[in-house]
Amino acid sequence: MGEQASDYHRGEMEIQEQVSTFNLFMGMTKWGSLAIASALLLFTVWFCTPGGFIPGLISAAVLAAIGFVLLRDKPDAAH
């Protein structure tokens, strides 16, 4: 067991698969949360207010559009 610890060298391991998995998970979490929030707003306005379906659809579409603009990937700033 003692020899195995000395075989590890920091920074030499390929981590591209872990980075890709993390990025996929974060993207699914981000866009899934926006979809759930939009659906929740649609159904809340549709069923819990006298507004009905069309105002609920409009409010959900506005939330989805604003969320898309705010959550999309931005280009990296050049340093």
List pLDDT tens digits, range 13-70.
Answer: 788 999 999 999 999 999 999 999 999 999 999 999 999 999 999 999 999 999 999 9
> Cα 16 from chain centroid?
20
**For residue 79, is pLDDT > 70?**
no
Q: Please state the pTM of the whole predicted model.
A: 0.77
User: How many CB atoms are closer than 10 A to CB 56?
Assistant: 19
Please give the pLDDT value at position 78. Answer: 58
Angle at 31 between CA 74 and CA 52, to 5 degrees: 120
